[in-house]
Structure 1
Amino acid sequence: MSGKVRAVMMALIAGSGLMLAGCAATTGKNVQGELLVAPAPNDYKLEITLAKLSEIIDSAKLTNEQRARFLYERGVIYDRLGLRLMARIQFHEALKIMPNLADAYNFMGIYLTQEGDYEAAFEAFDSVLELMPDYDYAYLNRGIAQYYAGINQLAVKDLESFYFADKQDGYRVLWLYIAQHQVNAEQAKAQLLLNRAQLSDDEWSTAIVDYVAGKYTDAELLALAKKELKHPREYLERLCEAYFYMAKVAEYQQLNDNAVQYLRLALATNIYDFVEYRYARVELARLVKPVSQGAAQGPEQEPEQEQE
């Protein structure tokens, strides 16, 4: 492999956790009077990386493994840009070349869950765990798929596995609570309070857990979202998360109109690669379906935030 290809490949593999740098955002008022930040445009650095990746895939001499990994990395960038169909094509092509690429199966399972194809999603996540039994995020994603499929006991089991892998992660506490709530709401609340004791008071995710536990109002949680921000995009990320969990609480309180509004606000952030964004559309479809007397209203029938 040439020095150029090696350098780019190492940067891209390390860049799997690359964060988008947000631009200066404008503000407006939503109907409840809270400040809402307009979604920032995509980071041009991601587009540059995408162009470089495409050049290498098209012109460089690569081994099969290298080509598969470059295709996977290009899929990750497409996913972060909201181009889910393009991302899916990359993951599919990568798996044709390298069938043991666990990360690609994980993404495919997520997309299949969003589409409601749960059996195929389970197969994808099972493949991840066969290849990498310690891949804890496969337990999260399979648990979420089981939750939306209505297999609540299995969802709790997988989300417990995900939680026990890191008890100091507030998001793990939240997803376990969501699954447990479907089984027994009172016991779920009691377990949430016990799990809260393991969390740091300084984390944003802990503030969300406290909100779900009833410590904060909606307005207080949104106010906390503005504090101690480390980069411009972080406020949008926090809003995406806050609105999603606010919607779940509103749903539990049978305030479905509020839940629908919060889910639409979560989608308006365009934080495409966050789990809360991914499933806000699924949650929205579940809430609006009864209004249409059973008419099919899947994720694609809401105003699209993604470019597919």
Structure 2
Amino acid sequence: MSLRSRLLFLLPVSLCLSCDDGSISQPEAASTEAARVQEPIDEREPAAELPESISPEPAPESAADFYASAVEHFVDGQFKQSVADFDRYVELNPGAERRLWERGISQYYAGMYDAGAKQFALYQSYDDNDVENAVWRFLCMARDPDVGIEKARAELLPIENDTRIPMMQVYELFRGNATSEDVIAAAREGDPNPTTLAGRMFYADLYLGIYAEATGDTEAAKKHIRAAAAADPSQLPISGYMHDVAVVHERLFEEKK
């Protein structure tokens, strides 16, 4: 979320008064200036009206405001502020906490791995057939120096039947029972139409990229993440939020150059 700057418009004030003959009367100017300085100033009123286009953004107030602010901060790469906004959202709307996977993703990118893992574990009580939730908990645990990738794999949340193709193959990849080729083959299976295939390949690329990064294959990670970020969410059956994740992840790769 970008912050808008306030502009202060200063109106020029003449320190001199004109006489009838056009000359300048300095004493009158001085007394007038003294009187002007001594006048009380009402500091409640701005010196000038701010143009509407640059008016300051109001601080979030409602739960919905904090959610929107959290999402915007995430997209802008301000991950800790995003987490803070999600936390405030939960304070105002505690019933939403267990389904708030978005906060877990912000926590992951903010380096708050333990908190992220707990958020995804909590989400499992809301939806226990979401491979993406299991994957993001894995990623948080794998990044946590007190846990590591082997324990993350051993404690991968159980998923029985995520019907989205190729998510169950993605799940097996993170379990260590499938390859990237298996995921891509599953995405292409059944001769899907171009739009359906592109949607499947978005998820395949996103999670192949994230898995490659977690297992140390940076070049493969960049290739797949770039492919996912290049997808057009307005034309495909994919989550706009997860596309934002791909774009954010690609930007982080670029910033590391």
Superposition TM-score tier, normalisation by shorter sequence: 0.5 to 0.7
What residue in structure 2 maps to residue 216 of structure 1? Answer: 178
Deviations 1:55-100 (A, max 9, x none): xxxxxxxxxxxxxxxxxxxxxxxxxxxxxxxxxxxxx89x98xx43
**1:189 counterpart = 2:150:** no
**Gapped regions of structure 2 (runs ≥ 5):** 1-56
How big is the shift at 1:202? 4.9
* Counterpart pick for 1:266 among 216, 228, 253: 228
Q: Distance between the aligned counterparts of 1:230 and 1:126, measured in 2?
A: 41
- Secondary structure of the 1:246 match is helix
How big is the shift at 1:226? 2.8
**1:280 counterpart = 2:246:** yes
**1:244 counterpart = 2:206:** yes
| CA-based RMSD | 2.8
**1:130 counterpart = 2:91:** yes
What residue in structure 1 maps to residue 36 of structure 2? Answer: none
TM-score (norm 1): 0.55
- Greater relative contact order structure (CA < 8 Å, 6+ sep): 1
TM-score (norm 2): 0.65
**1:115 counterpart = 2:72:** no
Task: State how 1:21-170 maps to structure 2 within 5 Å.
Answer: 99-100=61-62, 102=64, 104-136=65-97, 139-170=100-131
- CA shift in 2, pair 1:229/1:202, >3 Å: farther
What residue in structure 2 maps to residue 28 of structure 1? Answer: none
What residue in structure 2 maps to residue 18 of structure 1? Answer: none
Task: State how 1:170-209 maps to structure 2 within 5 Å.
Answer: 170-183=131-144, 184-192=148-156, 195-196=157-158, 198-200=159-161, 202-204=163-165, 205-209=167-171
Whether contact under 8 Å (1:163, 1:176) holds in the other structure is: no
Deviations 1:98-132 (A, max 9, x none): x4352x53233122012222343123212321332
How big is the shift at 1:182? 1.0
How big is the shift at 1:158? 1.5
Whether contact under 8 Å (2:229, 2:250) holds in the other structure is: no
Q: Kindly indicate which of the two structures has a greater share of residues assigned to helix.
A: 1
How big is the shift at 1:234? 3.4
Aligned length: 193
**Gapped regions of structure 1 (runs ≥ 5):** 1-91, 292-308
How big is the shift at 1:228? 5.5
